[in-house]
Amino acid sequence: MSDLYRFIHAEKSNCPVTLLCRVLHVARSSYYAWREGDATRRRRRAADDALAHEITVLHIASRRTYGVPRIHAELRRLGRRVNRKRIARVMRERDIRGVTRRKYRSLTRPDKKAKPAPDLISRDFHAERPGIKLVGDITCLPTAEGWLYLACWLDLATREVVGYAMTDHHRAELVVDALDMATPGATCSPAA
């Protein structure tokens, strides 16, 4: 139907609109409604382009991390009242995406029946001299190639990392390798 309206619009300088509508079996009011709608669509497209520019500026200022909720909040903070769904549509049409935070992923699955591990240092995180008290931890880091697991051992006297190991799993040998680095003279074996 739009093709007929475009044809009438293109030929209205050669023939009257009434005649063109009668020959093409189109209601004249429908043509005029289409013509007004076309102007409205052009205005809306221009307004969407201006909004897209504002969104792009905010998105780049956020180091390309802000998604729809934060862009919407930022525009409201700046006094610009725009519907959230419109922002989502404009961002989707122009392929502007925020960074989605990954869900928290725990490394351990606690055994409900197991007894808690004994507190061997009695919550005393001070040491008189280096090499007396070591504490350790494991963390997982997201990378482009998958998860990287890091085990570290800290000396409580100097607060320095004395041993670490990295790998793509979090089995016992990761901790043992880090402990071997922390205590070069001793050999460690994983507990069974």
CATH of the domain at 130: 3.30.160
For residue 84, is it within any domain?
Answer: yes
Distance of alpha carbon 46 from alpha carbon 52, whole angstroms: 10
The domain boundary, picked from 59, 93, 127, lies at 93
Tokens of 105: 């992923």
Residue 99: inside a domain, yes or no? no
Is there a single domain that holds both residue 72 and residue 139?
A: no
Same domain, yes or no: 16 and 89: yes
Asked if 81 and 129 sit in the same domain, the reply is no
Buried/exposed 65-84: b ≥16 CB within 10 Å, e otherwise = ebbbeebbebbeeeeeebee
Residues 47-92 have pLDDT tens digits of 999 999 999 999 999 999 999 999 999 999 999 999 999 999 999 9
Domain boundary among 93, 109, 141: 93
Residues 126 and 190 grouped into a single domain: yes
Q: Are residues 135 and 187 in the same domain?
A: yes
140 with 69, same domain?
no
Structural domain containing residue 36: 2-93
Each residue's pLDDT, cut to its tens digit, for the chain (192 residues) gives: 678 888 888 888 888 988 888 988 889 888 888 888 877 888 999 999 999 999 999 999 999 999 999 999 999 999 999 999 999 999 999 999 988 776 666 666 778 888 888 888 888 888 888 888 888 888 888 888 888 999 999 988 898 999 999 999 888 899 899 988 888 765 555 554
C-alpha closest to that of 92 among 47, 55, 136: 55
For residue 50, being part of any structural domain is answered with yes
Which pTM value belongs to this model? Answer: 0.45
Asked whether residue 52 falls in the same domain as residue 131, the answer is no
* Whole-number Å distance between alpha carbons of 108 and 93: 41
Q: Are 133 and 157 in contact (CB under 8 A)?
A: yes
Look up residue 67 and give its DSSP letter: -
User: 125 and 158: one domain?
Assistant: yes
Domain count of the fold of the chain: 2
